Structures are given as structure tokens and as C-alpha cells.
Structure 1
Amino acid sequence: MDKQEYRVGLYTLFAEMLKEPTVEFVQELPDMAQYCREAFAALGYNIPLAAYQGWGRWAGNIQALKDAYLRAFIFPPDRRLVPVESIYRQWTFDETAEVPIAKEKGYLMSDAALHMMELYKQYGLEIPREFQSMPDHLCLELEFAAFLLERESAERQAVYIRDHLDWVGDLYQDALNLDIPQFYREVVYVISLFLAHELQAITEES
């Protein structure tokens, strides 16, 4: 497997880890941790094994992981993590916008979301119903990165990753501040480290 295949695999894997867990997903957690170890080594990304080696202990414990998912991302509303790019961006950079929230953060459907919608349209992709109000949810953005890695030039891939995946470090800080369940703290941490390496590699190549 070459480096590009490992990158596609990691983007796809991390997208799945942000969705509600299934029985099949939980059963495969030990293999996922092993895949991360192999992929990071192949890519030369220094991501500590301690950050993800414990994922396998959740294997077979679907109810515990479902509970952790709900507490991390769904309920209670004031203590949940919202892995959506718009939340971390200025709502719009349109100087003519007169709405009060124009220059604020923390709102859905920002310029970033509208741009993601346009990208999906360009490639003939549909937004799943559950993500209609947040087309820039991190799991969709990771899936789209994998899509581009398989179909587009390195330059176009780099532009997308730079433009849409540089905010996940802030997401991890919120995961810490909100004290979300450990499994999902670890997931967001590993994703943030992976994307930091991706962004660094892009900068070094440009």
C-alpha cells in the first residue's frame, strides 16, 4: 500500500469514527488502531501510540460506546461538542452583510458551509439528509478529502485541506474543555494530530 492509499484510508476511517457507532464498527476497533499504527509509520507522522492504542478495549461494548457518542455530540446541548466547521469560522466575510452575526463565530451555515455545498454540487454529490443543516460537518469534510485524494491533483487536494481542515485543533481544545467521554476525546485528538501533519506536509511541498 502506498502513502496515498494510506491517506485515503485514514480520512475515510476518521470520518466513520465521528458517526454513531454500529456493532460492526465496534468489532473492528482493534483493527482500526492497528491500521492507524501502520499508516502513521508509512507516512512518517509522529502520532503517539498511546493516543489510540486503547481503542480496542471498546470492542464488543456497543452500548457503552453509543452512550459515549450521545454524551459527546448530542446531549446535553450545552455540554456537547459540535464538530462543524462553521462554528469555528466567522459567519461571513461579505462586507455588505447586515445581519448582526455577520462577523461572529458559533453559528451554522457560514460561508464555509456554503462553499462545501458548492463543492458537492460541482462533483454531483448529495448531502445526506441528517447533515442538510451542516454540510460542513467534519465527517463529511473528511470523506470529501478522501474523495479528492482519489480523483484530483495534489494542488487541488492541498487547497481544500488548507481551506477547510485547519480548525480541528480548536475542536480538540473544546473537547478537552467540555470533558467529553474519553474515547471521543482520543478520536478528536488523533484526527487533529493527523491533520496538523497533513497541513505541515502541504506547506513544505508548496
Structure 2
Amino acid sequence: MNNTCPSPQALQDLLRLFAEFFAFPDEDFCEAVRGGSVDLQVKELSQRAGVPIESELEKDALSYEEWVTSYNRCFLGVQKPFAPPIESIYKPWTTDESFQVPFKNQKGYLMGDSAQHVQHILKSFGLEIPQEYTMMPDHLVILLELLAFLVGSGFEKEAKQLCQDHFDWLPDLQKAIEELPANGRIFIAALRELEDILQAFMSHARNHRLLKETIDYSNF
């Protein structure tokens, strides 16, 4: 049990570290995973954040060239099927009965309800979406960056709500990657550790407050 005061900055850094796994591969980051330094970072940051886990990402690390191939195959659709890390894909496009489109209750489409909600939250905080994510504001990279922002800015209540609303699809993403005829083990390993961190954060948030400053999330 970690008896030190949890550090929001450490959790923010930890979430941003995991976002790296779902952005287009960076050679230095890939080498850091292969060399074990990312595992050490995860262990240290998670302890300081009050959500301690043991990290074994080095076991499934790939060379940079292999990582790019795996990323393209798993997430970018160079072949089908593929498993983009975008929330809307794994949820019904909308539950709003006023929409008169044939695919409103179907999965597999971009810019669904979840994307619209995340887009609204980002605008509420004056946060901009990078150009490459314009049509997918609920990409896992953006969700983790938004969660990191909320945690780092002291909005623990809102961070907890974001977890409840926008991270429940991660098991579906993991299953989709597992079913691909590709080596997606590094992404599966990262998802498993990320889920452990999020669950620990949610459990901690139910009983403690990292900071007192909050805003009314219901306005979003």
C-alpha cells in the first residue's frame, strides 16, 4: 500500500506515457520500451500516482520497423480487418432516435455520440484537436490526453466521470486486436496495464480526493 500523498502530476505523466503506444510510432520511444526504461517509468510514476502496478512491456517490445508494421496493420487499415483505437467504432453510432439515418444503431462508424461528447468537452476547456485527429476526437490518444489534462488541472470528479463514460470500450479494442492476423501483443500489453491503472484510479477516487477544485461536469 502506498502511504505517500498521490501525485496528480505523476498520474498525468503516466497517462501521457501510455498515449504514446497508440500514436504513430516514435523510434526513440520504441527503443525505450525495448530497453526496459519505459517499464521503470511506469513503475515509478504509478507508485507516485497512488496506482502502483508492475510493468512488463519490454517482454512484448518490437523493433521500430516491426512496430510501424504492426501499428499500420492493427490500426491504420492497410489490410482488413483492422482495429482502430477510436471509441465510436465500438459503440452504436447514436442512441438519439431523432436521427433518421439507417446506421444510427450500428457500430463501426466515426463521429458517433461519443465523439460529439468529447468534442464538446474539449471545446468547453478551450482545447484544440490536432489536425490528424479532427475526424476522430474520441481516438484513444485524445482521450488519454484529455484525462491527463483533467487530472493535472485538479478536476478529479470530471476525470472520474470521463473514465466512466469514455473508457469502457477498451476490452472491445483488446479483443479486436487479439483477433487480427497480426502481431499486436505490445498494444494488448499496454491496454492491460492501462486498464489496471484506470481501475486503480477509479477505486482511489471513490474514497479520496486528490484536489478540492471541481467544476460542474453536468454542464458538458
- Structure-2 change in CA distance of 1:198 and 1:79 (3 Å): farther
- Higher mean C-alpha deviation, range 12-21 or range 171-180: 171-180
SS of residue in 2 equivalent to 1:83: coil
Task: Show the counterpart of 2:26.
Answer: 22
Is the contact made by 1:166 and 1:195 (CA closer than 8 Å) also made in structure 2? no
| Mean CA deviation greater in 40-49 or 154-163 | 40-49
Distance 1:201 1:173 in 2: 27
How many residues align structurally? 202
Counterpart-to-counterpart distance in 2, 1:194 and 1:67: 27
Matched AA of 2:39: A
- CA distance in 1 between counterparts of 2:99 and 2:77 reads 33
Determine the structure 1 residue equivalent to 2:8.
4
Could you say which residue in structure 1 is the equivalent of 2:59? Answer: 54
The structure with the greater share of residues assigned to helix is 1
Q: Output the amino acid matched with 2:166.
A: H
Query: How high is the sequence identity, in percent, across the aligned residues?
Result: 28
Whole-Å separation in 1 of the counterparts to 2:123 and 2:81: 33
- In structure 1, stretches of 5+ residues that fail to align are none
- Decide which moves more: 108-117 or 16-25: 16-25
Pick aligned residue for 1:162 from 161, 164, 185 = 164
Which residue pairs with 2:142 in the alignment? Answer: 140
Report how far residue 145 of structure 1 moved.
0.4
Aligned equivalent of 1:197, options 197, 200, 208:
200
Q: CA deviation at 1:11?
A: 0.8
Q: Structure 2 unaligned segments of length 5 or more: list them.
A: 210-220
Deviations for 1:16-60, whole angstroms, at most 9, x for unmatched residues?
A: 11111122222322221111122344556575544x2425x54xx
- Scaled by the length of structure 2, what TM-score is found? 0.80
